[in-house]
Structure 1
């Protein structure tokens, strides 16, 4: 791909981004998506799963980077691997379930059999078919080029020359740790991920988890009318928006707006707050966490988490937090599959785990009230962006364009003292362009 072949929409993005102008044409465009596959998803660290999903030897789940399927498996030796789900003989998938426990994987085509560490150990009629010429050590399942973890979060990278995960994350680790270090026991998943397909663009979906608190006032108006979400604009704009320059990552950290009757530390029980005092790496992280009621983090390119405080049901008098991890998995131009996990601290009381599970299901699960609102909007935007007229329009990402950073924010990154700004998305698109045009 030469410079003259750069898609028109990407050229327009490069020309207008610093003025806060983003072309609709970067959404739902086959040519742009082809560039994204080759230059972003083939070179980025992609979230595959959590260590608590595969706690025992033989446990596995199937996970995806683009259309590559990987068996994320804990071997008999306890080591976690990601193996390309493709038989070395004729290319058939050897894993036929999305999750389970297996010591071996056998291809249903010709029966080649592999241990859960990827080694080829069985070939039907080996001597009759191959004589003495088949060296099974050379024909094992192919491991992902790079596999690394951060606090139980497992990431894969298709580029063997990619920087380390630690370097890729950079200072966003401080914000990840607000969740991963909240308890000395760490997190655990509450069941398998929910999955559903939406006709939209992956970049559009993650905006809500990166910078767009502005949409709450209208998109979720029905919830405002029911008293589930605050109706005053000052509540939607309240909080801190932070991005990590050069990385594309960002976070929104929201405390209790003045006058709001919300408990500290996301509403966790007092016993968990006390454990967090010694669990967090720094005092600044503990103090920030104690004042936080809603936390969102997005890692470039397509992982997000959302940790709000919600009322789990009409009978419960208080409010509890819920935590969802998200992967915005692209299936093609204008089409994604959402992988959504619910997580909670391992050492949380059992009654609390049940309340946070219900809160997740009712608000941000596949049939959750907030989820229904968002996906409806995303689908229409992506459709408009692919029309002959719509694709040439430019979107307004100028909110907070002249806003000065907050010098008093205790964490790393560039912080702004309110959430009504597009600063995080402009930072995201700078990194997006850097990877596409390098």
Structure 2
């Protein structure tokens, strides 16, 4: 029946299924290196040696003589049976261990080995899976692609009893230790989000996995732990797919959804979210924008970004940018060194060149202030409208968060920041940089 059987999912609450959209869920493709013990059939030589010991032929020399084997071969065989926990040596004699006789009767032994197994980590739910879901390396243009909110943690899989047990059952082995190898490749699983609407134009949603023909409740719960319901609907482009519910997504007082109306005083953001927040602030701030970024480059502070500065100024918004990783004194010395032959590969030099370009573009404009942090800084700060402050590891004016590479690839790295709604903090941050 497919998803048709979920048309009445919220019918009792007065909601009807209106439409759906494709959603691509990120998965990390991982490799585990496992030190294992696996029960294997005994070789004929194993069985013969054990029979010798049962018959009282229990020294290395006697077994070698009876079986007409070189001593080195016999010694290697005895070592293998001892390592498998079947035999133990007492003086010159070999005896069965407590479990050894049982292994001999079953004609099997345990062997230590190292195996590598593929496992899969859901970047939204944070759950490990040993069976590969249907994944796609490429994501079509214009679809909803989720950014991972969970990252692979080595201690997590190494101590994840449920995942280890599943691997043991799948491969018939006993895992002694686990080492996480490759874990940076991302692929995507295609699902659907189902939108339900009631007479008051309110919207509910559910995720549907067509492969299992089941609702993916775990995905929905994971997103609602990270975001508010309205934010999930915005993330899922509900406004685009449900034009009749546009009023549900009207911004309150022109503020962004991360901190609205005092309902949420702080929020943790990562790459795509930070990048989108910065661009929205440039477009929507009403009073002021204050940015501290150690570096700037033309890839991020490009013509589009400069146009956003112009747009902010046209709305009467004060734009202040502080930069400079090394001290002003050291930067001055470096400028003297580069006077004849500038080093364009030096990111401090590139930042200075970009600052001069901005100062030239906005020369005479009292609404734009570009300044060098005298002591040098490694802080990354975005503050706006005297109320909201973003502080974290993200280089706001020299890193696009991975946007140009679709938030994947070998150059991609995770950055994070916390957005805080606190007028006193916003004021204190500016005061520390001498901006009143």
The TM-score bracket by the shorter chain reads: under 0.3
TM-score scaled by length of structure 1: 0.24
Q: Which has the greater radius of gyration? A: 2
